[in-house]
Structure 1
């Protein structure tokens, strides 16, 4: 396994990687959208998120993940939150989400708290965006002003959830293409992947990597194999930390793990694998510069949160995030 790379000087390369092209325009979103209609929204959301994370540190990663899985399907519209009914099939039971995405009960608590202070004003889509930011901050990550004004979708797409959420077995080329379809650059992909500095993954999603891939530290693979059986269907739901060192602290250890070939998911290690790949220098850069990672993660989060929002008179403001009005 090759572990020595030559890293060129970075200024021009980083500029090219982090240049943002093709972002979904969201001119009607603003950071003071609820300045008059619900000035209490931020404190209200933060209080519930803080309590949920105090009860279970893992919940911060779960709440952050909700925004990713929502935005990558129909856009940042809270379609992910809709429950199935006898006449409606939502996104929760799609393969990337079923028995995996979690935190819906916390969102329910947040929505109920917000409705008490500002009934019928704040969308579930905006709650997801605020909650993701608060989860990052509470776990030690960067802060940013969240753009708001999204409305909630009256539809969902089971098929698109299966097709458009990048799976853990994707190659770098597949990941890059998937993000590009959402208006996100290679730089965005690498920075946003840093969200895996917190949280856990199921054996089902990293089994192939620890048993079959060669781009993995052998001792790390053996350690994970001790808790994740080779046989498919055996221990599929067994959990392991995405970041071995600090799975509940938002920092740059994720990139240090990739440089050491200790990425848990195949898709993670793909960012630091191939000599000459454009992703390798930026992973190395983030591994040694937390401030740079934090800055670019914020840029990526703001950009991702702009993917096809419903604004104006489109959609609705749900009273209950699990069902349409």
Structure 2
């Protein structure tokens, strides 16, 4: 009888911790110190987005990778002269430079206003920039809780086993997201961000060339789609080649990702598992048929994700330079 009681206490403790954190974060956190922070960030992000669409998936993925490793503290932005920071881990090497550049440019825009200089954390700028690129790509515009402080530590070792892998099944996905206080519905909604994502061929090549001894192509993958992927990703392809994760509307933040899953067009095993597994299929079908339901679930999920492991008050710092601790 002790184990269930322990689990109950752990769940209650985690829920209490989240409520304390969300109470410390607030949408009006900078209203006295930098009242125009949101418009300053949005202007910089919009300019960057207009230069290259990659800004959108790159920034969104950067935020996700940051929050899941050491909490949403912008530690993923820190550069190391010895290449031993978070961003140097193999799971982070594919993070596009446009995401980092978006935060740097937004930080410069905020700091260009004397009242705001060195008053807004890089972690909050990343959270705001993520909301703005989601909106610019056609997704929802939502309120962002603010008040995060920047972390001082960024190590390659801390990334180990903290990020979902392309080959994960539903149980592995649920376990990883649950460890960050996120439900299965949250996980599926956040996976919907792949509607504007892209991937390098090596992340899914096994599915189209050597899936198993009895099947070279993953049987859960739409066969004609698999052949298209082979054309785009021939054997020994340039590793820099990137493929859109949504083959239908790759530059629009919509629910096409879920419609693609219904047709066997999920690029990763971890994508298609959401439809293949009967425990999650109903949610995929809901989001595929109702874009408003997907967008509302996404807002809920990314707001909860933005509370993961945050540093507030006297914890952390406000970095002068987002790429290094003060």
TM-score of the pair, normalised by structure 2:
0.89
Secondary structure of 1:201's counterpart equals strand
**1:304 alignment partner in structure 2:** 305
With 98-107 and 119-128 compared, the bigger mean Cα shift is at: 98-107
**1:267 alignment partner in structure 2:** 270
Q: Is the 8 A contact 1:49 1:131 kept in 2?
A: yes
**2:250 alignment partner in structure 1:** 247
Secondary structure of 1:188's counterpart equals helix
Equivalent residue for 1:44, pick from 40, 63, 66:
40
Q: Structure 2: where are the runs of 5+ without partners?
A: 1-13, 212-217
**1:111 alignment partner in structure 2:** 107
1:162 aligns with 2:160: yes
Q: Is the 8 A contact 1:259 1:272 kept in 2?
A: yes
**1:96 alignment partner in structure 2:** 91
1:215 aligns with 2:220: yes
**2:195 alignment partner in structure 1:** 197
Q: Structure 1: where are the runs of 5+ without partners?
A: 1-20
Cα RMSD (Å) of the superposition?
A: 1.4
**1:15 alignment partner in structure 2:** none
Q: Is the 8 A contact 1:228 1:236 kept in 2?
A: no
CA distance, structure 1, for counterparts of residue 235 and residue 172 of structure 2 = 25
With 243-252 and 161-170 compared, the bigger mean Cα shift is at: 161-170
**2:238 alignment partner in structure 1:** 235
Deviation at 1:192, TM superposition (A): 0.7
**2:6 alignment partner in structure 1:** none
1:85 aligns with 2:88: no
1:63 aligns with 2:59: yes
Q: What is the aligned length? A: 300
Q: After superposition, what is the alpha-carbon deviation per residue over 1:114-142, rounded to whole angstroms, capped at 9, x for unaligned?
A: 11111110000001100110000011101
Q: Is the 8 A contact 1:73 1:157 kept in 2?
A: no
Deviation at 1:209, TM superposition (A): 2.3
Q: Is the 8 A contact 1:44 1:113 kept in 2?
A: yes
Equivalent residue for 1:24, pick from 18, 29, 40:
18
**1:131 alignment partner in structure 2:** 129
1:284 aligns with 2:285: yes
CA distance, structure 2, for counterparts of residue 210 and residue 159 of structure 1 = 31
Q: Is the 8 A contact 1:74 1:157 kept in 2?
A: no
TM-score of the pair, normalised by structure 1:
0.89
CA distance, structure 2, for counterparts of residue 89 and residue 30 of structure 1 = 33
With 99-108 and 52-61 compared, the bigger mean Cα shift is at: 99-108
